[in-house]
A and B are shown apart, each in its own frame.
Chain A
């Protein structure tokens, strides 16, 4: 048993269509310790979901392709194993919940049966009665009374459906749970309920988690470690405290400045100028340089090295590259 549940080295994912190559993920590396939650933060097109799909080995191919990289799940290289072996791993070791609970559930099956299906699939030979008991336990665990076992998805509200989805994902007690914007479709008070429940469950079951979100508030609520993604790269990586209190990368700073603060008054928000770059036509040099207020000539060409500004706090920006070398 290795110390890190997940280690990703230099992952590159590209989508090739007839017209263009979309550079979705461009050489990201990170690791996740057991029982920790990693927040993958970024805007549309930053490559968050592609990263998650790559970890599940579910990149649609064609047009998608993992060009490079190594993914070690619990010490096992999942890039080299067969599809059949991977199917065994999905659900049992690594499991995923999606943003929209409406489409993740089968509308014509009772929710209890959908949980049971997963339980039985991964525990061959388990009796029906035992699987039912297990499914009921899961429902109770996510805060739904077992009496609703026979009800259909349309009889549940959005928040309750997301709880069912979480119950399905946790049915085989996976070691790693990937949650792709799990609360984005929910109302604020319901989001608070679901986040609260997820936190409790994680502690109870000892699951490690990757939480994909664009909401910095949710990150602060739920994560231990945070990776800020921009244009398929991790531009800043560190503990929650490092990212929130001592953020360094201009994009991270811009992102935090873009959201209105509840405690202070500003007349105008400090918006990041410009748009997300087109992933099929990324700029040379630092991918953020066209929007960066501190852009220099050096930023416009060449590779940007990653600098460790303090233990465990990595920044991909030239400003800190030199300082990092000095230190």
Chain B
């Protein structure tokens, strides 16, 4: 019963947030709605007793990915409202909604027709079974570093490639060009001395007027 209430609460939070991401005009609002959705997904993970994933969900998604989104939004200054009424392709929006609805209908039909549940069988290995008595994090750790060790190493390579790619993509101009850009900026510095002298002179005249 408590599970049920938690599930429906989490589902409501998720769906409200997901719709918010799509319809919010401001990109910052979309990012905040995305955080709401991701927290709801973490709640759903807890209901399914995947506690480690719930923690990772909050740390990695809400803590890192959405912050990255917000950082880029603020960096680019694109935090202004988008006009959702503009349609470069005629009839794009109704078509998109129809496609999304048919996708949803297909998926739900599959779910409701397949009442037997998952057709595969779980591995007989007790290390992989969810009710084997060891903690969630220990089970995932053992399986991840034995059976999936190669895949885990590959994710390390993927992360490295991703970081290098991001650096290469954002480093758009050479250092020489940047130095050229700096030259005019240094020449635009206001010369302080004459202005200061003018100010003093101005103050003097005011005092003279007062006396």
Chain A complexes with chain B? no
